[in-house]
Structure 1
Amino acid sequence: MKLEKQMALLRKIQEMEFVAIELNLYLDTHPCDRDAINDYNCAAEMLRKLKDQYECEFGPLLNFGFGGVSREPWQWIQGPWPWEI
């Protein structure tokens, strides 16, 4: 059950990353589109919240200072890692 919840949350993060990247690419060629800027900002905020939730429940998504704060024991070595799911 825990693995299913972890996988579902990771999937949501991947989906929101896709949305943010696509909006970023669109804004590179349409920098004055206010609706797209608003959509990008909403996607970026939702992505931040999803990543915070994931790291709170399952540990860091990234290492080398790019992830959240680790609890004891050092969480980065505990598996499965996000790309192994």
Structure 2
Amino acid sequence: MALMITDECINCDVCEPECPNDAIYMGLEIYEIHPDKCTECVGHYDTPQCRQVCPVDCIPFDPAHKENQMQLMAKYNLLLTKKKAQSA
């Protein structure tokens, strides 16, 4: 499942550069995670990097976007294909 950032976010700016899929962005008031780009770091790391660095533990799994490992890997492969097409 994708991750989400709760309103406990303190806008410390540490999660956004850690995201290998550029899924984290600044929303109107706090950082947000684009669920179509979040793979929980599957394909890149063993654990979600944003959750590792968050000092206030405000990045839970998003119950609205439940995905298994196979779906996350498929999303990762799709994002990789799009990235390669854009750089060609």
Provide TM-score, normalisation by structure 2: 0.30
Q: Which has the larger share of strand?
A: 2
Provide TM-score, normalisation by structure 1: 0.31
Larger radius of gyration: 1
